[in-house]
């Protein structure tokens, strides 16, 4: 129809006709059906699927803000879904989103293996992983430089004269293992040996970390600083060290750090920027054959309250 041309601003329509069409459309509140349009053209219609492992974690949820910003700039919308930490649900969601015709997919994976994410790949829908590198699937990704964050934290502590740094937190997740890797690297470069008795890589439970920290601090040769890789572990550690600061504590991604009644070093990053980068990878169309890209978000180290000696 001429109407289609007029509304889409295509050439080949008389100015007067165009006016009449636009006027009529406005009067009737007419809106072209984007789904039918896409069905015919096959072209992307600006829908990005966002699958999060959880919506409850503010750190993960805040990445939505960045994704939304970049999507809005590109005239796209987000279809949001939560896998609730279940990889099977994750697979179903991706299949559903692909069936709904999303142009791209951003996923914060629930598990370590991402083979099931191929469901979308086969349909030719671009995939970007957020917060961890791909495993079992080829895809672009945006990750936080956790290892360097931990490395810098340790170096900072070494420069302050610390020689025995304890490590607490699960290393089962990608982030946890990277933090542990950075911890090791820093020790290597500083030529300080890692004492396994100062390392507790148990699962993320406050009580476990609390006991482990107590054990380290009351041992014959206690650490003067603690690097705490997980949120629950940090809770436990803070209970163990109580209000008095005889030991330097560094944590990751702590919210309201400046209201914690204990001086704290915090390694953090810009989660909104991470979201923007992820969406950016999607819109910055990659050639299907090119090598997968990886964007790295840097961390910063901030000290709250007076640093304990």
Partner DNA sequence: CTGTTAGCGCGTTCAC
Partner DNA sequence: GTGAACGCGCTAACAG
Question: Which residues would be at the binding site for its own copies (CB under 8 A)?
Answer: 29, 31-36, 38-39, 45, 47, 50, 55-56, 58, 61, 64-65, 68, 72, 77-82, 95-101, 119, 122-123, 255-256, 259-261
Asked if residue 248 lies in contact with residue 285, where contact means CB atoms within 8 angstroms, the answer is: no
Contact pick of 2, 62, 173, 304 for DNA (by CB under 7 A): 2
Q: Give how far Cα 274 sits from Cα of 30, 114, 150, 252, 292, Å.
A: 38, 20, 18, 16, 17
Stretch of 14-22, 78-86, 178-186, 197-205 contacting DNA, by CB under 7 A:
14-22
Question: Residue 25 or 202: which CB sits closer to DNA?
Answer: 25
In the complex with its own copies, which residue's Cβ is closer, 123 or 294? 123
Three-class secondary structure of residue 148 per DSSP? helix
Task: Give the count of residues interacting with DNA (CB under 7 A).
Answer: 23
Q: How far, in Å, CA of 198 to CA of 14, rounded?
A: 79
Distance CA 246, CA 295 (A): 38
The mark string for 38-77 relative to DNA (x by CB under 7 A, - otherwise) is -xxxx-----------------------------------
- Phi, then psi, of 280 in degrees rounded to 5: -60, -45
Binding piece for DNA, criterion CB under 7 A, among 32-40, 122-130, 200-208, 299-307 = 32-40
Strands of the chain (E only): list them: 47-52, 77-82, 104-107, 127-130, 140-144, 165-168, 199-200, 225-228, 248-252, 264-268, 294-297, 300-304
Binder of residue 25, out of its own copies, DNA, none (CB less than 5 to 8 A by kind) = none
In the complex, the smallest distance separating the C-beta of residue 233 from DNA, rounded to whole angstroms, is 48
Contact residues for 164 (Cβ-Cβ < 8 A; gap 6+): 195, 198, 221, 222, 223, 224, 225
Check binding of 13 to DNA (CB under 7 A): yes
- Closest CB 17 distance from its own copies, rounded Å: 23
Contact 215, 241 (CB under 8 A): no
Residues in touch with DNA (CB under 7 A): 1-2, 4-5, 7-8, 11-18, 31-33, 36-37, 39-42
């Amino acid at each position: 129809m001429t109407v289609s041309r007029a509304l889409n601003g295509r050439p080949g329509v008389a100015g007067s006709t165009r006016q009449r069409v636009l006027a009529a459309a406005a009067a009737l509140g007419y809106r072209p059906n984007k789904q039918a349009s896409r069905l015919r053209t096959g072209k992307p219609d600006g829908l990005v699927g966002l699958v999060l492992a959880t919506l409850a974690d503010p750190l993960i949820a805040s990445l939505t803000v960045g994704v939304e910003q970049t999507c809005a700039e590109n005239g796209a919308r987000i279809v949001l879904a939560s896998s609730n930490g279940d990889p099977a649900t994750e697979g179903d969601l991706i299949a559903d989103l692909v069936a709904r015709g999303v142009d791209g997919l951003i996923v914060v994976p629930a598990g370590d293996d991402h083979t099931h994410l191929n469901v979308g790949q086969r349909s030719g829908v671009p995939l970007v992983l957020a917060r961890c590198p791909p495993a079992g699937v080829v895809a672009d990704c945006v990750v936080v430089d956790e290892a360097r964050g931990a490395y810098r934290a340790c170096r900072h502590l070494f420069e302050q004269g610390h020689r025995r740094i304890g490590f607490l937190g699960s290393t089962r997740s990608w982030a946890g293992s990277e933090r542990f890797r950075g911890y090791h690297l820093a020790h290597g470069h500083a030529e300080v040996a890692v004492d396994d008795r100062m390392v507790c890589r148990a699962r993320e439970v406050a009580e476990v970390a609390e006991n482990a920290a107590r054990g380290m601090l009351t041992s014959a040769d206690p650490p003067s600083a603690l690097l705490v890789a997980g949120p629950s572990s940090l809770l436990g550690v803070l209970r163990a060290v109580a209000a008095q600061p005889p030991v330097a504590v560094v944590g990751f991604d702590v919210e309201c750090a400046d209201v914690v009644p204990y001086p704290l070093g915090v390694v953090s990053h810009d989660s909104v920027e991470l979201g923007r980068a992820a969406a950016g990878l999607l819109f910055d169309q990659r050639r299907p054959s090119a090598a997968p890209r990886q964007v790295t978000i840097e961390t910063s180290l901030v000290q709250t309250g007076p640093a304990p000696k």
